[in-house]
């Protein structure tokens, strides 16, 4: 009667063959694309986000800027927007890579320092912040020699 059994070495060999087969099946796409195509696919992906309203709004307001042939940058207004994009980075990239037929596409994030809200606590700080935002208030202060005490 023949022996029936499973060899541990045959299992590991089969696993190595599966890994080798998977790496052979990886397709590298390198089609070029325009900044407009990138923006259109970015918006199309954002429109598919039904439940993720915050991420959808972020993506529609912070459009990609193509840095080179495969890398684009997203400039967001705050750390929360950056965090949401990072959470979905792989899904976004996989979608863009498929639609634009380029597997080398990469995304970079940057928080716009100019949009960081300035905090004013004292009355003088609040007044100075208001003068920065409204030149007419500065003229009024200068014209009448007003000071905040």
pLDDT digits over 46-104, tens only? 999 988 989 999 999 999 999 999 999 999 988 889 999 999 999 999 999 999 999 99
Measured between alpha carbons, how far is residue 144 from residues 137, 138, 139, 147 in Å? Answer: 11, 10, 9, 9
pLDDT digits (tens, 9 = 90+) for 95-123: 999 999 999 999 999 988 875 555 666 78
Contact in structure between 146 and 130 (CB atoms under 8 Å): no
Half-sphere exposure of 44 (CA within 13 A, CB side): 12
Segment holding 73, helix H or strand E: strand 71-76
Contact in structure between 29 and 97 (CB atoms under 8 Å): yes
Contact in structure between 64 and 99 (CB atoms under 8 Å): no
Contact in structure between 59 and 43 (CB atoms under 8 Å): yes
Q: Tell me, yes or no, if the pTM score tops 0.85.
A: no
CATH topology of domain 35-115: GMP Synthetase; Chain A, domain 3 (3.30.300)
Residue 45 has pLDDT above 90, yes or no: yes
Contact in structure between 75 and 82 (CB atoms under 8 Å): no
Q: d(Cα 102, Cα 75) in Å, to the nearest integer?
A: 22
């Amino acid at each position: 009667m023949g022996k029936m059994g499973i060899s541990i070495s045959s299992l590991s060999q089969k696993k190595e063959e599966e890994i080798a087969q998977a790496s052979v099946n990886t397709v590298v796409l390198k089609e070029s694309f325009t900044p407009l195509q990138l923006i259109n696919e970015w918006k199309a992906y954002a429109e598919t986000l039904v439940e993720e309203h915050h991420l959808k709004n972020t993506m529609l307001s912070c459009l990609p800027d193509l840095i080179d042939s495969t890398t684009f940058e997203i400039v967001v207004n705050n750390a929360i927007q950056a965090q949401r994009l990072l959470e979905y980075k792989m899904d976004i990239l996989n979608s863009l890579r498929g639609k634009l037929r380029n597997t080398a596409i990469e995304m970079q994030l940057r928080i716009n320092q100019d949009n960081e809200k300035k905090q004013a606590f004292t009355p003088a700080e609040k007044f100075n912040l208001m003068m920065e935002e409204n030149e007419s208030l500065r003229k009024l202060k200068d014209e009448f020699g007003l000071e905040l005490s």
